Amino acid sequence: MILRFLFPVLMCCAAAAAQADSIWDSMGVPSAVGGDGPPANILAPDAKQGFAGTVALGYIGTSGNTDTSSLDARFNISYTSGRWFHDLSAETQHTSQNGNTTVSRFDSSGQSNYLFSAHDYVFGHLSYDHNQFGGFEQRTSEAVGYGRRLLEGGTQTLDLEVGVGARQDDLSDGTQQNSGILRFGGKYVWQFSKNGSFGQALAIEKGTDNTYTESITSLQANLISSFAVVLSYTVKHNTSVPVGNVRTDTYTTVSLQYSFN
């Protein structure tokens, strides 16, 4: 099941733009799922310090026989200070059809990392998700653990993480589930051309009542200056859901992204 979520074939090119100083800069990989490891070469003497981030906005509207609208907004901000790297992200999506809301969700996460070597770090992760029409209306999880950069150099970077923590779920049937979790996370980035990049982020939270898997696949095409077009595909899967709900939700978004540092 999980393998279906990984690395869909996406290829794209775009017009000229300046290449990012780090292949982690503005890669268009929403980071709410985890795997939010430190930037490449963070311990180098000339490594960038301070704040950086992205803001993205996407909108699709149709009219005629069916009136629909979909708005997706996302931001990510990070702060680097020596061996510390902090990352905060949030995304909201609202979709309506003929005046009736069909999708209303908000996802957010924060992660702090401390590097004790060039490729190893410990982290603390906190996430909160709200989905008005999902089987899990609210979900909060906390985890601490260890991460390692398995691949760095050239045009590719890969981080994997493992941790332990707890999760609190409010279900659509009015019940609650609280459990300890094992958390696995990963993030892969490939700068396949000067103006094009591919990203894959994955998180798995295994609890006693439910195993939650979230995958975000993204493709970024740089345009001009600090602007880019980002296509992302999100899959959220629960092994156990309340009666009347489906186990898997998917979201496809196209957005214009602005990067700053």
Mean predicted lDDT score pLDDT of the chain: 83
Global pTM reads 0.83
Average pLDDT over residues 22-38: 44
Q: State what percent of residues in the chain have pLDDT above 70.
A: 83
Please, which pLDDT band fits residue 148 given cuts at 50, 70 and 90? very high
Tell me the C-alpha to C-alpha distance, in Å, between residue 257 and each of 21, 74, 75. 17, 9, 9
pLDDT digits over 177-194, tens only? 999 999 999 999 999 998
* Phi and psi torsions of 116, nearest 5°: -110, 0
Please, which pLDDT band fits residue 45 given cuts at 50, 70 and 90? low
More confident of the two residues 183 and 11: 183
Average pLDDT over residues 91-108: 91
Average pLDDT over residues 135-141: 93
Compute the C-alpha angle 21/22/25, nearest 5°: 100
DSSP label at residue 4:
G
